[in-house]
Structure 1
Amino acid sequence: MTITTARSRWHAPELRAAARHIGRRRMLSLTAATVALAFAIDLPTVGAAAATPLDAARIAEFPFTLGVASGDPLPNSVVLWTRLAPAPYQPDGGMPAQRVDVDWEMAKDEAFSALAAKGTTTAHPEFHHTVHVEAQGLEPGRVYYYRFRTGSWISETGRTRTAPAADSAAPALSFAAVSCQAYEDGHFTAHRHLAQDDVDLVFHLGDYIYEYAIDAAGGARKYTDHALSSAFGHETMTLEDYRLRYALYKTDPDLRAVHAAHPFVVTFDDHETANNYADAVSDNGMPPDQFLLRRAAAYRAYWENQPLRMPQLPVGSDMQLYRRLHWGLRAQFDILDTRQYRSDQAYGDGRHIPGPESDDPSRTITGQAQEKWLLDGWRNSKALWNVVPQQVCFSQRRMDLNAVAQVSMDAWDGYPASRRRILDGAKAAGIENLMVLSGDVHVGYAFDIKDDFDDPDSRTLGTEIVATSIVSGQDGTKTPANWNTYMTANPHLKFYDGRRGYAKITLGETQARADFKTVPYVTRQGAPVETAASFVTEIGEQGLKPT
C-alpha cells in the first residue's frame, strides 16, 4: 500500500502567480481607487504581518457545520473542501482571525482501515477558514472516502472518486445535472434523493445561491420553531453578505448530504452575483465600477465555498471558470462560463423578437477567447461523447406561435451568431455525439439540436438536456400553462415538465440515456421522487427517442 503524505500550505507568491488574467479593458475603464479595491487579491500574508497560529485545541464547538465536499476529479487527484465555522451565521463563523492547521485523510474504505493519502493544510482567515486540498497520487477510476480533523473535532465522512485513466476505455458513466436552488422557495428534497442515487459525479449548472433578501421565516420554508437572522434580510452586496449566504445554504442537511455523497463539478450563472448581469453590465443600472466591486466579492465567496482548484482562484472581478475535464475516452466535458464575458443582452433583456441588434454577428455569449478554446478542444478531442455543461438554453425556444416568435434575449437565442459559430465548429471538428447540459429556466426540457432550428428536417447535430431547478419556482406543475404553445412552436422540443428535480444521464458505448427525475412538491418536506420520462440518443444517430 502506498500512502501519499503531504503538508499543504498557501504561499502568497504561488497564489499571486495565479493572478494572471486581470482584464486590461476593465482596468482602463475604472478609476484608480476602484482598481485598487476591485483587484485586491487579499491573500494570506507572510512574515511579521501574517495571521498568528491558533491552537486547534482551543476550538470549543464543532467547527465542520457546513459539511464536506469534493470536486473536479482527475485520474490521480480530486479537490477536497470544508470550512471551519462553529457559528456559521456570524460574519466570522465563530473563528478568530488566526490560521488553523487542519488534517485530512483519504481511504479506500469507509472505516479508514486502508489509508491512501493524508496531509495537513491551513485554514486561513483571509479565505474565511475554508480549506481546498488538491489531493494527489491517487489511483484512477476508484472510489475514496475522506474526512478532516482539527483539534479534537472530526468532520463527517465524504465519498468521492477519481476519473479513469486518460487513455482508458472507461465503463459507462452516470452523472446528474442540477441547477437553481433558491433557499427561500422551499426544501432541497431533490438533493436528498440525488444523494442516494448511483451517479459518478454531479454537474451544478448555476444559481447555487440567490442574492435576494430572505425573511425570518425562510420564505416558503415557513419556519415556526426558529427565525433566520436579519443578516439575510437584504440583498447580497458585500463579501460578508455573500459569505453568509453560502453559510445559510450549506447548513441545509440535504445539500450537505449530496455534497458528501458525490464529487461536484460547478459553474456559476447569474444569481451567484446578481440577476441577468452581462460582463460588467448589471441588470439594475449600477455603474460598472461599482458592479465590478460587487462581482469581485461574489466571485471570491463562490471560490471559497466550492471544491475548486487553484487556477479558478479569482483575481478581483475576474475568474477563470471555464475548464476541461475527461472521463477516460468515454467523455470530454467542456465546462463553460456564459455570464462573465458575454455581450450585453439585446433589446433590454427579457423576451423579444429577433432583430438587427440580437442578430449582430459580433455579439458573443462566451467571449472570443473561450469560444476559441472550446472549438480547439473539440478539434483535439478523442472522446466518444463531447458534453458541454453550461448555464442557459442553447437550443432555439420560440415562445409563441407567431410567424416571427419572441425568444429569450438572455439565452443563446439572444446570441444566434455565437450559437452558429459553435455549431459550425462542432461540424468542422467532426463532433458526432454532442450533448449540451443547461439549467436556468426552472423546468426540464429535452431538445434535439438542429443544424437549422427553423427547418425541422435539417440535420440533428446533438441533444440538449435542460435540468429543472432543485427548488427555484416553488412546487411547479407537470404541464405548465404554455406547454402546448412551446411543444407546437418548437418541433425539436421532445419533453417539457415544470416540476422540480434533476436530470440523470448515462453515457454508454452505443447510446446515452437521460432520465428526468422529479418531485411533486418542495414547499413541504418528504416528497417522493419519480422518473417523469426517459430518452436515449444513439451513437451515429443523434436525436432523442423516448423509452
Structure 2
Amino acid sequence: MTSLLDSSSEHPADAANPRRRTVVLAAAATAALAPMAATLGAPAAHAAAGAPAFLHGVASGDPLPDGVLLWTRVTPTPEAVPGSGLGPATSVSWEVAADKAFSRVVASGTTSTSAATDHTVKVDVRGLQPQTAYWYRFTAGTTVSPAGRTRTTAGHDVTTAGVRFGVVSCANWESGYFSAYRHLAARTDLDAVLHLGDYIYEYQTGGYPEDKYVVRRHEPKHEILSLADYRTRHGNYKTDADLQALHHAHPIVAIWDDHEFANDAWSGGAENHTPGAEGEWAARAAVAKQAYFEWMPVRASIAGTVYRRLRFGTLADLHLLDLRSFRSQQVKVGSGSVDDPERTITGRAQLDWLKAGLANSNATWKLVGTSVMISPVAFGSLPAHLLGPLTKLLGLPEGGIAINVDQWDGYTDDRKELLGHLKDRNIKNTVFLTGDIHMAWANEVPVNMATYPGSGTAATEFVVTSVTSDNIDDILHVPADTASLVAEAAIKAANWHVKWLDMDSHGYGVLDVTAERSQMDYYAVSDKRRQDATSAWERSYRTLNGTQKVERVWQPVR
C-alpha cells in the first residue's frame, strides 16, 4: 500500500467528602512506564557511539478516517541537538502496521530531514482503514525508533457508539513533573488526547515559578526568543518520559495558547515581550510558529495556524480554535473597551468559519476546543486577600480584578455574536472544552449572564485544570483546600452558572461522548512535585442531549 508523504513543517461513594479522590490509577500507569523508560534508554547508546538516535520519541496526531500524521525527531550525530543547526541531512524510513509485532505492515516509505527543519520528520499517512488501531515506527541507518500506537477515526457518515478523549492543558516544566501524562498514557480506552494549549512555556528559568520553587530546570535557561531557542525548548520538553509515553500511546489533537509564544500574546505583541529589547513581535511569533509545526504532530490550517475541524463519525464534530493569532490587544480592566465591537478574539474569518461549521454540522455533538474560557466570570466578589494571588495567577495588572480580560470576557462582542448565533439558529449540544486557567470548572454558558437562568443557556463548558502550572494555593504556598475553598465559594455565589470549580488540583480530564450525553470525568494527581504521583478520580459532570445543562454524575465512565 502506498501513501501520501509530507515531511515539511507543517459516585455516591464520595458524597460524604466530595473532594476525596477515589479511583486510583497509579499501579497501571507505573507498570506502563517501566518498559517505556527501558525502550527510551536504548537510543542514547547509539547517540554516544555516533549512530543516529531517536531521543525525543515518536508521536501521532490529527487522526482522520483514512489517515494520521506521524512525527519523530532524529539526532543524526551527537552534536545535532535541537536548535543547533548542526548535523547532516538524514534519510528516515517509516512503517505502519496492523499489529504490534509489525508482521503486517500496511504502509511504508522513506523521507529525509535536515537542520532546515531541526531534523524533525512529519509524515501524513493516508489509505488506512477507519476506526482502526495501528502501530508505527521509524528507522535511520540501523537505529529503530520506539514504536507508537495510533488510531484512525470513524468514517464521516458512520454512526459510532462513542468517542473518548483525554483532555489536558498548561504543562510547565519547571513547576513539576508530567505524571498526568503518564496516567493518560496508561489508559487503553482513549481515541485521542486533546491538548488545549500551553504545551511549553517561554520563561527563563526561575521566571515562573520563582527560582526557589523550581522543581526542575528547563533548557535553554534564558527566556526563549529565537528560532533556535524555541526549538531547544520543544526538544527539552520532549525528553520527558511521561510526555513521550503519552505520545507513544495515543494520537494527539493540539492547539496553542499564549505560552507557545509569550504570556498573554495577541496579534501584535504580548505582555511578556518588550519591543526593541526582545526584537520585533512579528519575527518572534513567526519563529515560535515554525518551531511548533516542526515539533508537533499538528496539521496547519489553510490560514497557516491551528484552527481546523476534525470529525468523529456522525457523533461529534471537533472545532479547534486559534485565539492568539488574530485577537486584539487585551484592554485594561474597567476601561469599558471590552464591549467594543471593533475588538476581536477570533478575527472575522475564523468567527465566520466557526459559525458556519456549527450551523452546518449534522453531528450529534458540536465540540469546540477553546484555549481560554468562554463563560463569563466575575471575580470582584473575592475577599481582598485572595484578589492579589488570583491577579498574579491570571497575569493581570495589580489592584484587584472584576473580570479576566485575556478570556472571552475581554472580547464580549465576539462572544455575544457567537452565543446569539447558537440561540437564533437553535443549535443544540455545543460543548466548549477549555484550558488555560489552571482550575477545573463545569459551567453552563448563559445567553445573558445578567438575566440567567431566565435567559437560558447557549452551551455548556468543561474546563480542565493544569498539568503542573501554578494555581492559587501554589502561589500562596498554603496546603490544598485552604484558600481555594474560600475563593471557590465566593465565585460560585456570584456566578450562578458555575456549577463546580476546583482551584487547587492538578491533573486532567477524560471526556466521554455518546449519543445520550457528553461527560467529563475530572482526575487529580497527588503531588505534581513527585515523579511517582498517583492519580484519582475527583468529580464528574455531564450534559444530556438537548438540555444544554450541566449536572453532576456520581461515578466516572468505566
TM-score, structure 2 as length reference: 0.82
CA distance in 1, matches of 2:82, 2:415: 44
Distance 1:94 1:343, change over 3 A: closer
Determine the structure 2 residue equivalent to 1:234.
222
2:546 is the alignment partner of 1:540: yes
The 2-side partners of 1:78 and 1:9 are apart by 11
TM superposition shift of 1:7: 7.8
Whether the 8 Å CA contact 1:520–1:527 is kept in 2: the answer is: yes
Q: Is the 8 A contact 1:215 1:232 kept in 2?
A: no
CA distance in 2, matches of 1:442, 1:71: 24
CA offset digits 1:112-168 (Å, max 9, x no partner): 112221111111321011011000100011111111111111111111111100100
Equivalent residue runs for 1:264-413 within 5 Å: 264-284=252-272, 286-287=274-275, 290-309=280-299, 311=301, 319-347=304-332, 352-353=333-334, 355-401=335-381, 406-413=402-409
User: Which has the larger displacement, 428-437 or 332-341?
Assistant: 428-437
User: Which of 56, 71, 75 is the aligned partner of 1:81?
Assistant: 71
What amino acid does structure 1 have at the position aligned with 2:177? H
Distance 1:163 1:130 in 2: 25
Deviation for aligned residue 1:400: 2.2
For 1:322 and 1:144, the matched residues in 2 are separated by 26
Paired residues of 2:230 and 2:288 also in contact (CA < 8 A): yes
Greater CA deviation, 374-383 or 425-434? 425-434
Seen in structure 2, the aligned counterparts of structure 1 residues 294 and 464 have a Cα distance that, compared at 3 Å, is same
1:130-169 → structure 2 map (5 Å cutoff):
130-169=120-159
Give the superposition deviation at 1:215.
Answer: 5.8
> Which deviations, in whole Å up to 9, do the C-alpha atoms of 1:466-513 show, x marking residues without a partner?
110001117853461411111111111111112100111111111111
* Distance in 2 (alpha carbons) for counterparts of 1:215 and 1:439: 23
Aligned residue for 2:63, secondary structure, equals strand
Equivalence for 1:433? 429
Question: CA 1:213–1:94 in structure 2 vs 1: closer, same or farther (change >3 Å)?
Answer: closer
Q: Note closer, same or farther for the CA distance 1:218–1:378 as it changes in structure 2 (3 Å cut).
A: same
1:195 maps to 2:185: yes
Could you tell me how far apart the structure 2 residues matched to 1:66 and 1:450 are?
44
Give ranges in structure 2 of 5+ residues lacking alignment.
11-45, 383-399, 475-479, 554-558
Q: Is the 8 A contact 2:129 2:152 kept in 1?
A: yes
Task: Tell me if structure 1 keeps the 8 A contact 2:47–2:75.
Answer: no
> Measured at CA, do residues 87 and 467 of structure 1 come closer, stay the same or move farther in structure 2, by a change above 3 Å?
farther
Judge conservation of contact 2:52–2:141 (CA < 8 Å) in 1: no
Unaligned runs of 5+ in 1: 19-55, 313-317
| 1:542 partner SS | coil
Distance 1:443 1:478, change over 3 A: farther
Secondary structure of 2:280's match? Answer: helix
SS in 1 for 2:532: coil
Q: Distance between the aligned counterparts of 1:58 and 1:412, measured in 2? A: 49
- Post-superposition Cα deviations, 1:151-203, rounded to whole Å, max 9, x if no partner, equal 11111111111110010012211102110011000100111001112211111
2:491 corresponds, among 476, 479, 486, to 486
2:36 equivalent in structure 1: none
Residues 465 and 425 of structure 1, relative CA distance in 2, 3 Å threshold: same
CA distance in 1, matches of 2:215, 2:270: 31
- Residue in structure 2 matched with residue 208 of structure 1 by the alignment: 199
**1:537 alignment partner AA:** T
**Structure 1 counterpart of 2:37:** none
Aligned mates of 2:155, 2:304 — CA distance in 1: 28
Match of 1:467 in 2: 464
Any conservation in 2 of the 1:399–1:407 contact (CA below 8 Å)?
Answer: yes
Distance (whole Å) between structure 1 residues aligned to residue 124 and residue 425 of structure 2? 33
Paired amino acid for 1:214: T
1:529 corresponding residue in structure 2? 535
Q: 1:341 to 1:219 in 2, by over 3 A?
A: farther
Partner SS for 1:464: strand
Secondary structure of the 2:362 match is: coil
Superposed displacement of residue 284, structure 1: 4.7
Further displaced range: 92-101 or 369-378: 92-101
- Distance of 1:241 and 1:534 partners within structure 2: 40
What is the CA distance between 1:10 and its match in structure 2?
A: 5.2
Do the aligned partners of 1:88 and 1:244 also contact (CA within 8 Å) in 2? no
Equivalence for 1:249: 237
Q: Decide whether the 8 Å contact of 1:436 with 1:465 is kept in 2.
A: yes
Of 440, 444, 448, 2:444 maps to: 448
Cα deviation 1:197-236 (Å, max 9, x = unaligned):
221111111111101112699975646xxxx68x522100
Measure how far apart 1:319 and its partner are: 3.2
Q: 1:113 corresponds to which residue?
A: 103
Cα gap change, 1:87 to 1:543, in 2 (>3 Å) = farther
Q: CA deviation at 1:101?
A: 1.2
Matching residue of 1:514: 520
- Aligned partners of 1:487, 1:510: CA distance in 2, in Å? 28
Q: 1:221, 1:524 within 8 Å by CA — same for their partners in 2?
A: no
| Greater Cα offset, 80-89 or 173-182 | 80-89
Q: CA RMSD in A?
A: 2.7
Deviates more, 1:267-276 or 1:108-117: 108-117
Cα distance, 1:269 vs. partner? Answer: 0.6
Structure 1 CA distance for aligned equivalents of residues 77 and 241 of structure 2: 16
Q: What is the Cα deviation at residue 412 of structure 1? A: 0.4
* Number of aligned residue pairs: 486
Give the stretch that moved more between structures: 493-502 or 318-327. Answer: 318-327
User: Which structure 2 residues correspond to residues 42-121 of structure 1 after superposition, within 5 A?
Assistant: 60-61=50-51, 63-85=53-75, 91-92=81-82, 96-121=86-111
Task: Report the Cα distance in structure 2 between the residues aligned to 1:92 and 1:208, rounded to whole angstroms.
Answer: 17
- Residue 401 of structure 1 deviates from its aligned partner by 2.5
Question: Would the aligned equivalents of 2:300 and 2:306 in 1 still touch at CA under 8 Å?
Answer: no
Tell me: CA distance 1:171–1:218, structure 2 relative to 1, closer, same or farther (3 Å): farther
- Where 1:64 maps in the other structure, the secondary structure is coil
Deviation at 1:397, TM superposition (A): 1.0
Q: How far apart, in 1, do the equivalents of 2:280 and 2:214 lie? A: 33
Instruction: Give the AA of the match of 2:94.
Output: W
Q: What's the CA shift string for 1:434-475, capped at 9, x where partnerless?
A: 100111111111101111122232212221011100011178
